[in-house]
Amino acid sequence: MQRPNPEWDLIADIQRRAGADPRVPLGIGDDAALVRHSSGDILVTTDMLMDGVDFLIGQTPLELIGRKSLAVNLSDIAAMAGRPTAAFISLALPRKNGREIADGLYAGLMPLAKEFDVAIAGGDTNAWDGPLVVNVSLLGEPSEHGPVRRDGARPRDWVFVTGPLGGSLPSLRHCTFTPRVREALALQVAVNLHAMIDLSDGLASDLGHIATASRVGIVIDARRLPIHKDVAGDGATRVQHALSDGEDFELVFCVSAADGQRLIDQPPPGVTLFCIGECTAELGLHLRDQDRITPIAPSGWQHQFQ
């Protein structure tokens, strides 16, 4: 699902023109939408991946492209602490080798669907003269605790991530990552999750979404930031990678200090956790490195238009 882009107010335009709708208690601007039907609430998310932008055909193995197309959507449902149910796969296949490409995509996609108990329920398969485009829409159910939004963080909340950050692109981890669906459900049973998001654009950018939506500030402690072994370089460069590389697809979330201490003392089985900072009443994102506190510029991935 799309995030607000400071360079372009299309999403704000759509929100304004669409108006509030009682059937969509959570819509444009969160990881997934919550759609209210007469029968109950459904989570829905959709992501479009394109050759040359999200993968490079000929370089990225087809199986990994197929896997990623579902995995990024699973990560969005995880960010709401939902349970994924059914996926819909739309393909614009190059006319040349279209069938082989489709077979390769599904060979990567199907095992992940099975692992996360997702039904492949439909889609739209097309051929054209353009590059490969894969769109996946994924449905899910909120857990009995309800969906976790991104606007509930409070001053003095502790901020956690579920794994080390940075370097996901050169290592292909942006395709092979494990969506944190199980971790989110386990965390929601253990504590009261105030706000959560999945790390797609990069920690600085995605934390900015939580901070803005929740009207809090966030201070990240550089020394506690888990930096992935895939990140080269040293010191400040490594921190910068962890803050801004993006496509980590770990979860970042905020809980009360008491719940934070509980998670450190007794993390849910199988869940990796790092406490990386704290929410503040003073707005803005900051990095604490030893005794220096400096503002963090939101520096994640943004689509560019001419």
Q: 3-state class of 139 per DSSP?
A: strand
* 12, 56, 97, 215: residue in contact with a copy of itself (rule CB under 8 A): 97
Q: What is the side-by-side order of every strand in the sheet holding 133-142?
A: 33-37, 40-50, 133-142, 82-94, 119-128
Helices 181-190 and 62-79, axial angle in degrees (round to 10): 20
Left if phi > 0, otherwise alpha if psi is -120 to 50, otherwise beta: which for 175?
alpha
290 or 306: CB nearest a copy of itself: 306
* Strand 251-255 to 274-280 pairing: unpaired
DSSP string, 256-303: -HHHHHHHHHSPPTT---EEEEEEESS-EEEEEETTEEEEPPP-S---
93 or 218: CB nearest a copy of itself: 93
Verify binding: residue 284, a copy of itself, rule CB under 8 A: no
Verify binding: residue 127, a copy of itself, rule CB under 8 A: yes
- Nearest distance from C-beta of residue 207 to a copy of itself, angstroms: 21
**Binding segment for a copy of itself among 45-53, 158-166, 227-235, 248-256 (CB under 8 A)?**
45-53
Verify binding: residue 133, a copy of itself, rule CB under 8 A: yes
**Binding segment for a copy of itself among 59-67, 124-132, 269-277, 281-289 (CB under 8 A)?**
124-132
* 6, 115, 131, 281: residue in contact with a copy of itself (rule CB under 8 A): 131
Verify binding: residue 16, a copy of itself, rule CB under 8 A: no
Question: Residue 12: phi, psi to the nearest 5?
Answer: -60, -40
Verify binding: residue 27, a copy of itself, rule CB under 8 A: yes
- Nearest distance from C-beta of residue 35 to a copy of itself, angstroms: 5
74 or 139: CB nearest a copy of itself: 139
* C-alpha to C-alpha distance for 13 and 96, rounded to whole angstroms: 38
Question: Residue 55: phi, psi to the nearest 5?
Answer: -160, 170
Q: Give the count of residues interacting with a copy of itself (CB under 8 A).
A: 72
141 or 221: CB nearest a copy of itself: 141
